[in-house]
Structure 1
Amino acid sequence: MNRTIRRAGTVTLLLVMALLMRLTWLQMVDGEALADSEENRRNAIEQYGRPFGDIYVGGEPVTGSEQAEDGGDLRYKRTYTDGRLYAPVTGFASQVRGATQLEGIYQDVLNGSDDRLKDPLQMLTGKHAESGNVLTTIDPKVQRTGYEALGDKKGAAVAIDPDSGEILGAVSSPSFDPSKVSGSGADDTAAWKKLTARSGNDKSDDQPTLNRALRQAVPPGSTFKLVVAAAALENGLYSSVDERTESPDPYTLEGTSTKLENENKSAPCENASLRTALRYSCNNVFAKLATDLGVKKLRAQAEKFGFNDEKQDVPVRAAESNFPTGMDEAQTGLSGIGQFEVTATPLQMAMVSQAIAHNGELVDPHMVSRVQDGSGHTLQSYEDPDSRRVMSGRTAGQLRSAMRTVVEKGTGTNARIAGLTVGGKTGTAQHGVDNSGTPYAWFTSWGETDSGKKVAVAVVVEDSDAARAEVSGNGLAAPITEQMIRAALR
């Protein structure tokens, strides 16, 4: 054989062997990664080639599927009933932008690719099974009431059943309709650009796709005083909410010449009891309590409620509520009134009232009750959640009594409801450089019927049409809370 031909044949054989080795490597080693890649168009074609399962609220689906007119080989797209109302619960599923929240967490169940849905033949062939469904704990009356009560205000609200941990409402405002961005057409792209446009102006940067109920942690202001009061009682600093404290008014922050005064100059805050201090929201008392307790004890109590938890899943991952470390005494004092670097989500502040209402025990909050296959059989149940003790039953009872005083004759009177027992705590939190931003108006509370049915609610109003001087927890947040409690218990 000609030497040149022999060499060319050898090179060709080596190239063929290299090609075969590469193909084998791709199939055996990289195959799964390539199959799962977001760039793999086949995944989207398969996922959107059939109707989805649904997310249910109050026994009715709030999602659906329709054939996409402009999706090309993506046959179906997601639709939503009352999309703006339930967007903080469902999230969105988009042919282009992926899926978020419950849509994302249970994507495999909803599109039929979850192995738990498949029979042996489907497992062998890798084919999709009949899609499954997700049943939420959301009470449609509570959700709608909170949404309508917030109206055009920027803010959020969360309602929880203290005994079961079921999240009955998770409202975020402003909201958006996920149906508008679920497809891949020009209209969906334009809607998405409008939703995510940022101008640099705080008023216009409303971020409708941000879930403020679970994913926005802001200074909690005076609502955090409940955590400080719990720490004071649990650590034996005072034995009762009616025992007088040692609290000068005004209080000078330790190591500084800064005098911390109270909003209500005529309030009886000097050496006030915890009941009186909560009733009038006395800054001097809680800054002094926080300083006396120290960072370690105060942080320990806050973390029992759920602060500093990086993995708080409901099952949507909530933003971490922060109680800072490494503070000096002056900063610790400011943390005692929910300022400095303390932040909390509405979910977190609802959990504070939840634990107080449930006699000191915190049942893990959750917004999904069951995950089902297409025939209604349960694949996963969340109806027996874990719980932990946050404080003694005695401390919880003391705080419930003091919170009732706040609502009946203190700073939270707008939450009163005839025929129901209601306790709460107001908060007005500063934010921005030198308090340049509009204050946040907070209210966290619980309500109970004579038969023992309960609900815990937290509301924050970040921005409204109210004048700055009129921004208060009682003025803006308590009326929303009152309506949501009424909806839950009646």
Structure 2
Amino acid sequence: MTRTVRHAALFCLLLLAALLVNAARVQVVEAGPYERHPANRRADIDRHHRPRGDILVGGRPVTGSVDTGERLRHERTYTDGPLYAPVTGFASLAYGATLLEHAEDDVLAGRHPLLAALPLFGGPADGGGDVFTTIEPAAQRAAFEGLGDRKGAVVALEPATGRILAMVSTPSYDPAELSGNGPSAARAWRRLLGDADQPLLNRAVRQTYPPGSTFKVVTAAAALEAGVVRDLGQRVGVPGPYRLPGTGTELTDERAECGRATLRQAFEWSCNTVFARLGVRVGAQRMTRTAREFGFNDAGLRVPFGVAPSTFDPDVDRAQLALSSIGQYNTRATPLQMARVAAVVAGGGTARTPYLVERTTTDGGTTIGRAGPRGLRQVVRPVTARLLRELMTGVVTDGTGGQAAVAGAEVGGKTGTAQHGVGNAGTPYAWFVSWARGKGELEPRVAVAVVVEDAAADRGDITGGDVAAPVARAVMKAVLDS
């Protein structure tokens, strides 16, 4: 009898050992495949078990969570969804998350290490953490309403810090339409994906455009830094068309006066022949280096979500360099990048890395992360920045950017009309980049870039000064008045 009991006990121990080995195999060796299996809903259930933290603009939440009572309990809600969609992105039960909802998911979902490790400090017992943005509500609304029903984008920066004050992309969409996982969300998803105007695309940071004449700010900076031009009153215009080196193609100007223009006049009149020649005289190597200092060819920028790199092609012949120097050929830029260009001029030649998140907190208000100004770089000499400020101020007071003027403020700007499409057949993009300094302020407080893709005007009448400058003016005024 004792022997039988011992054998039974040994057999049970063997079974227990086998069970433990198999459990260890499942939990360690097979954990990855099980976790990634489409039928595994435990991660989703856990993610949506508690309310998601909020994204705040101007100290006010623009997101929320509602308890559905279902297995995936909490569904995302949005206030002024289309206005802030280029900032928040969406958080969907079915389609994942984008932009801040994705980049700050660990905080918002309550999985950030500090939230998980320090529940005594107001961690995720009942909800995720909160994300405070740098967005100024008045500037955001001014940009959104300024673009209206046109395709385009606006970015506004604070030059001294790099804070992103506005980020708008139109047409927009309501992220709340995608929050659930039912038939209505599926219909909205199909509709948005099939929309030729691409409302899900954040044109402010994920779309690059030929910057056209707004790039002449960079070309002017390169010419001044290289000593190719030393004075704003120096004559740089040459009469007649400019034949692109090594080709039979001639570049012309709309104004005959460009042939005798000084640098100041050429900038105010946006003379293509002048800046194409200047780019060739500066040379590809120095033009590329200057563009890189302004932020071009940077594939690693995050704000905190990824930004499409703006590009200046270093491998060009002299004819291609001439076109690149007036913002055509392969030169491409996001609106965020062109706002950075304006911010360098406004900031006395220095650049701050742009950022969108001011701080992150627990749901109880305890700060767990803070951004603040970072990445100060000297892009051009202060004397060069001062001369560029003079040039941009002249565009608004005496040139093509008069519609950007703000009463009682000093405003500098540069217009641009960028050709694109096969044989330049596409509707030109209307650009305006600018900065503004309020009365009594020591330094400019805001830098802005505006691009409009589908200006409602005859092709020959589309200019950055007429189409994009009024939008920039509204944004600058909103910031200065805030």
Contact 2:177 2:185 in 1 (8 A): yes
C-alpha separation in 1, matches of 2:34 and 2:328? 48
Contact 1:449 1:489 in 2 (8 A): yes
2:395 to 406, 409, 417: 406
Q: Give 1:364's aligned amino acid.
A: T
**Aligned equivalent of 1:383:** 372
**Aligned equivalent of 1:178:** 175
CA distance 1:288–1:50, change in 2 (3 Å): same
Shift of 1:35: 3.7
2:326 to 337, 348, 361: 337
Pairing 1:383-462 to 2, within 5 Å after superposition: 383-452=372-441, 453-462=444-453
**Aligned equivalent of 1:6:** none
SS in 2 for 1:407: helix
The CA deviation string for residues 370-427 of structure 1, in whole angstroms up to 9 with x for no partner, is 0111221111111132211110110000000011111111111111122110010000
The CA deviation string for residues 226-246 of structure 1, in whole angstroms up to 9 with x for no partner, is 000000011111112222226
Q: Give 1:192's aligned amino acid.
A: W
**Aligned equivalent of 1:471:** 462
C-alpha separation in 2, matches of 1:489 and 1:27? 58
Pairing 1:213-362 to 2, within 5 Å after superposition: 213-245=204-236, 247-262=238-253, 264-266=254-256, 268-362=257-351
C-alpha separation in 1, matches of 2:118 and 2:363? 16
| TM-score between both structures, scaled by the size of structure 1 | 0.91
Q: Give 1:111's aligned amino acid.
A: A
SS in 1 for 2:435: strand
CA distance 1:37–1:333, change in 2 (3 Å): farther
Question: Unaligned 5+ residue runs, structure 1?
Answer: 1-13, 199-204
C-alpha separation in 1, matches of 2:48 and 2:393? 52
Contact 2:143 2:471 in 1 (8 A): yes
SS in 1 for 2:144: helix
**Aligned equivalent of 1:7:** none
Q: Give 1:155's aligned amino acid.
A: G
Percent of matched pairs sharing the same residue: 47
CA distance 1:414–1:99, change in 2 (3 Å): same
Which segment drifts farther, 234-243 or 154-163? 234-243
C-alpha separation in 1, matches of 2:439 and 2:39? 58
Shift of 1:464: 3.0
Count of aligned pairs between the two proteins: 466
C-alpha separation in 1, matches of 2:119 and 2:291? 51
| TM-score between both structures, scaled by the size of structure 2 | 0.92
SS in 1 for 2:396: helix
SS in 1 for 2:320: helix
C-alpha separation in 2, matches of 1:233 and 1:384? 28
**Aligned equivalent of 1:51:** 51
C-alpha separation in 1, matches of 2:28 and 2:36? 14
The CA deviation string for residues 244-278 of structure 1, in whole angstroms up to 9 with x for no partner, is 2264431111001211001x233x21142221111
CA distance 1:38–1:398, change in 2 (3 Å): farther
C-alpha separation in 1, matches of 2:127 and 2:324? 52
The CA deviation string for residues 26-64 of structure 1, in whole angstroms up to 9 with x for no partner, is 312442564467763111111111211100000100000
How large is the Cα RMSD of the aligned pairs? Answer: 2.3
C-alpha separation in 2, matches of 1:21 and 1:31? 14
C-alpha separation in 2, matches of 1:186 and 1:303? 47
C-alpha separation in 1, matches of 2:91 and 2:18? 42
The CA deviation string for residues 294-313 of structure 1, in whole angstroms up to 9 with x for no partner, is 11110100010110110111
Which segment drifts farther, 360-369 or 467-476? 467-476
Contact 1:241 1:399 in 2 (8 A): no
1:206 lines up with 2:201 in the alignment: no
SS in 1 for 2:453: strand
1:74 lines up with 2:77 in the alignment: no
Which segment drifts farther, 268-277 or 287-296? 268-277
CA distance 1:442–1:39, change in 2 (3 Å): farther
The CA deviation string for residues 285-324 of structure 1, in whole angstroms up to 9 with x for no partner, is 1100111111111010001011011011111211110111
Q: Give 2:115's aligned amino acid.
A: L
Contact 1:113 1:129 in 2 (8 A): no
Shift of 1:151: 0.2
SS in 1 for 2:258: coil
1:168 lines up with 2:165 in the alignment: yes
**Aligned equivalent of 1:4:** none
Contact 2:295 2:337 in 1 (8 A): yes
**Aligned equivalent of 2:149:** 152
C-alpha separation in 1, matches of 2:33 and 2:370? 31
2:82 to 49, 70, 84: 84
Contact 1:113 1:128 in 2 (8 A): no
C-alpha separation in 1, matches of 2:148 and 2:373? 34
Which segment drifts farther, 437-446 or 237-246? 237-246
**Aligned equivalent of 1:370:** 359
Q: Give 2:132's aligned amino acid.
A: L
**Aligned equivalent of 1:113:** 111
Contact 1:363 1:388 in 2 (8 A): yes
C-alpha separation in 1, matches of 2:119 and 2:480? 48
C-alpha separation in 2, matches of 1:158 and 1:39? 42
Which segment drifts farther, 232-241 or 331-340? 232-241
Question: Unaligned 5+ residue runs, structure 2?
Answer: 1-13
Shift of 1:454: 1.4
C-alpha separation in 1, matches of 2:421 and 2:130? 43
SS in 2 for 1:423: strand
C-alpha separation in 1, matches of 2:36 and 2:369? 24
C-alpha separation in 1, matches of 2:39 and 2:62? 30
